[in-house]
Amino acid sequence: MGRLFGTDGVRGVAGRDLTAGLAMNVAAAAADVLDGMGAFAAARSAGRRPAAVVGRDPRASGEFLEAAVVAGLASSGVDVLRLGVVPTPAVAYLTADLGTELGVMLSASHNPAPDNGIKLFALGGLKLPDVIEDEIELRLHGRSGPGTGPAGHARLPGGGFGRVRDAADDTESYLAHLLSTLAGPGGELPSGEQPLAGLQVVVDCAHGAASELAPLVLRRAGADVLAIGAEPDGLNINDGSGSTSLGGLQAAVTAHRADAGIAYDGDADRCLAIDADGQVVDGDQILAVLALALRDAGQLAGDTVVTTVMANLGFRKAMQAAGIDVVETPVGDRYVLEAMREGKFALGGEQSGHVILLDHATTGDGLLTSLQLLSVLARSGRPLSAVARVMARYPQVLINVPGVDKALVTSSAELKAAVEAAEAELGTSGRVLVRPSGTEHAVRVMVEALDAGQAQRVAQRLADAVSTLG
């Protein structure tokens, strides 16, 4: 698999790349590393064992991988609270809310059912820093299994083996937290108040982790909810449904004359929306709507929003017109979060629908994002199509050019000249981005322009230039 940890944890084909043995060893190594770094010191000084929450999405492989992770943790002296099938952001929230030293989520997000992954959260619900992931990898190279030392010698944890209990009921505090965000700063939602009353919403849960909780929390908020893609069988996650396949949701929204549609991905850390006419409202548009709503409420820290280099030019222009600063990061939610924490900003996100509302969550949360978006509709009394018009989405063409030397992207004089020519042609009404892929042996070409045909022509010309690189 190359480097074990990618941009979002450990991921691979379950049973081939991600085996039960590897999952067990990753969990045990994480416990060893965190213990060695002093992350368990407070628990031990309080006379208790450290604890971890473990959740999963409904993939069939999640069942045996959950058992393996639980075994790895318990054998290392960590108590385990088993949450069952929950969204990734629920694990992050409950890691912080329950005060556990570790959170583990088993999911491959929007990937197909054969894949799975392991995401790790530290105390407070933040993703583990790269330096700790690197140390876990080093520890794995020196161990032969959980409950063993670096040389493979069996050992008994000093505080005894961890105990395991089911903790599915603890997800109620996560749902209560989500609803409390609709009450404004400071308080819980008053009993009986339903801020989304009057909205008819179709939700596509991708047969994933949000299949039960998303319809439930939206109904508690007062929405009239039709749920599709909410019958997981362990094999159908993301299969023709959810945020990567919007056709079914578009058809359902228009057929039922709903006010809006919401599409989650497999682990519900992101969402996209559909307006009443069946048009897609992407992550850039959602981010723009929320930025203006927070600014108007005096809750947009620094009047700044964080996004990635892939954000649509229309987003940048809309924010500029509204007097909102934009901080740009490389592609990846962890980079967005790093910039938000460094600048103490409240809002950031990606075009994919991964939105981080840092006043309420430590990671992207599709359920939280959808509640906040729908609350804008409910308060304004305007349709989603009108609300989303706060930004005009420029036509954007993406071309991947495989098999070229990515290092030459920054050193080729010929490519630099081609990019400069493209930028001169587009002027201020377009944008060019040529960058090496962070996950594939490929170069990504992105062009935006007011005219889709021009964007396609310019992008293809640049892709041809990239293909000549060694």
Residues with catalytic function: 109
Per-residue tokens: 180? 């409390």
Which residues have a Cβ under 8 Å from the Cβ of 466 and sit 6 or more positions away?
Answer: 401, 404, 409, 415, 434, 443, 445
- Give the whole-angstrom CA distance, residue 179 versus residue 194: 9
- Long-range contacts from 328-334, C-beta under 8 angstroms, 24+ separation: 330/438, 331/438, 332/7, 332/8, 332/308, 332/438, 333/8, 333/363, 333/364, 334/7, 334/8, 334/127
Residue 435's DSSP bridge partners are 444
Closest of 436, 286, 439 to residue 366, by C-alpha: 286
- Give the whole-angstrom CA distance, residue 322 versus residue 301: 15
Residue 325's DSSP bridge partners are 304
Distances (CA, A) of 281 to 210, 277, 455: 20, 11, 21
Q: What are the helix (H) ranges across 142-212? A: 171-180
Angle 366-380/88-97 helices, nearest 10 degrees?
A: 100
Residue type at 194 in one-letter notation = Q
- Give the whole-angstrom CA distance, residue 69 versus residue 72: 5
Cβ atoms of 389 and 292 within 8 Å: the answer is no
- Give the whole-angstrom CA distance, residue 351 versus residue 284: 5
Residue 172 sits at the vertex; the CA angle it makes with 171 and 174, to the nearest 5 degrees, is 65
Closest of 117, 60, 123 to residue 88, by C-alpha: 117
**Helix and strand tally (H, E) in the chain?**
15, 19
Closest of 311, 332, 453, 465 to residue 401, by C-alpha: 465
- Give the whole-angstrom CA distance, residue 349 versus residue 82: 29
State the pairing for strand pair 200-204/224-228.
Answer: parallel
